[in-house]
């Protein structure tokens, strides 16, 4: 008899209508909101040329002739970025080609020390660029030369941090601290250890300030390529 009553009670509960509050809750869709201003690292591409020539926001501190025979080791994400050498054997990296020059003409590039300065060196090329160069799936870099797999945005050309520090990718021989390669040199003497963490909307780095005992995790407000 008790079993019959339990069965009847279960049937009644199954057939009973949902309360308005429960029905409204079930009908509410899940809303995903995009990150607002300041909640996402700003990705920036340097564009040194316009159809009329060098961007008016830049200053050509020197001009000359040169050749660009290698992919850039600094701007890994850019198929138009090069490692170039001028007629005096001065090496520049990165140098960005002028996309407005006709393919049958010799190219022109603007070479930067960093995106934080408007000063550039403009080279007119004496040999054609390798036009079949494609966006790098495995771009050459110092880290890869050492056998480390690096994706382009693991090491942006430059980053600006939430603490105001401006850091640029280093070339040449890199130091290793705490088992982490110091890939970046920063304006105030600090360094960035390891790669940029860019999986989340706001990127982060492991930043070591000059003279500090320990590094700290700092957000990246902007990254350049």
How many other CB atoms sit within 10 Å of the CB of residue 213?
A: 6
Q: For the whole model, what pTM was predicted?
A: 0.75
Nearest Cα neighbor of 219 from 147, 162, 157, 160 is: 162
Pairwise CA distance, residues 68 & 166, whole Å: 27
96-127 pLDDT per residue, tens: 999 999 878 889 999 999 999 999 999 999 99
pLDDT 10s digits, 5-45: 333 333 333 333 433 333 333 333 332 233 345 589 999 99
Distances (CA, A) of 142 to 76, 124, 130, 210: 11, 27, 21, 24
Q: What is residue 32's predicted lDDT score, i.e. its pLDDT?
A: 28
β-partners of residue 182 are 193
End-to-end CA distance of the chain: 77
Helix (H) or strand (E) holding 9: helix 2-15
Predicted local distance difference test score (pLDDT) of residue 171: 85
In this prediction, residues 52-79 reach a mean pLDDT of 94
As a whole number of Å, the CA-based R_g of the chain is 27
């Amino acid at each position: 008899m008790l079993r019959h009553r339990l069965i009847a009670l279960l049937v009644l509960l199954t057939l009973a209508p949902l309360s308005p509050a429960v029905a409204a809750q079930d009908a509410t869709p899940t809303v995903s909101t995009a990150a607002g201003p300041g909640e996402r690292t700003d990705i920036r591409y340097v564009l040194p040329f316009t159809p009329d020539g060098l961007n008016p926001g830049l200053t050509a501190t020197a001009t000359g002739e040169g050749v660009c025979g290698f992919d850039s080791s600094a701007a890994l994400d850019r198929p138009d970025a090069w490692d170039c050498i001028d007629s005096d054997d001065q090496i520049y990296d990165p140098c960005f080609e002028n996309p407005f020059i006709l393919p049958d003409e010799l190219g022109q590039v603007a070479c930067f020390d960093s995106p934080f300065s408007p000063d550039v060196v403009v080279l007119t090329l004496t040999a054609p660029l390798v036009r079949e160069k494609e966006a790098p799936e495995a771009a050459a870099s110092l880290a890869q030369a050492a056998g480390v797999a690096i994706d382009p945005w693991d090491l942006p050309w430059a980053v600006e941090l939430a603490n105001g520090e401006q850091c640029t990718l280093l070339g040449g021989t890199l130091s290793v601290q705490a088992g982490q390669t110091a890939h970046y040199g920063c304006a105030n003497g600090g360094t960035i250890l390891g790669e940029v963490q860019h999986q989340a909307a706001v990127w982060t780095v492991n930043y070591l300030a000059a003279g500090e005992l320990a590094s700290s995790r700092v957000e990246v407000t902007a990254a350049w390529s």
